[in-house]
Amino acid sequence: MLKHEVPIVYDIIISMVPHSLHSEPPYLLIKAICEASSDPSLKKPKFFRYLEEYLKTGLYCKRGKRINPEREAYYKSIRKVKLRKYLREHRDEIERMRRQFLSDD
């Protein structure tokens, strides 16, 4: 769920776990990073169910979901909507940073 609905949070979590063949991020690490995020996907009951299941079973998944073309399109649309919303809400800040970046060169 994190990998597809909130890939940035997922990347942050994975980057904080030492690389190994079967590395599982600690529950408290996942919980802390997700609580710090303002992403609405991490406030859904579905997320809390998955987090509770992770606490009980770790990376075990009773019924894994395969990414089919329809599900992939759904996740891409979620990411696109979130990106547009973020850009809209932070337009001034982004423009200020862009101007600063251009003036530094």
- pLDDT tens-digit map of 72-105: 899 899 889 988 988 999 999 999 999 998 988 6
Is 31 strand, coil or helix? helix
Banded model confidence at residue 58, pLDDT cuts 50, 70, 90: confident
d(CA 49, CA 39): 17
Report whether 44 contacts 37 (CB < 8 A).
Answer: no
What's the pTM? Answer: 0.66
* Mean of all residue pLDDT scores within the chain: 88
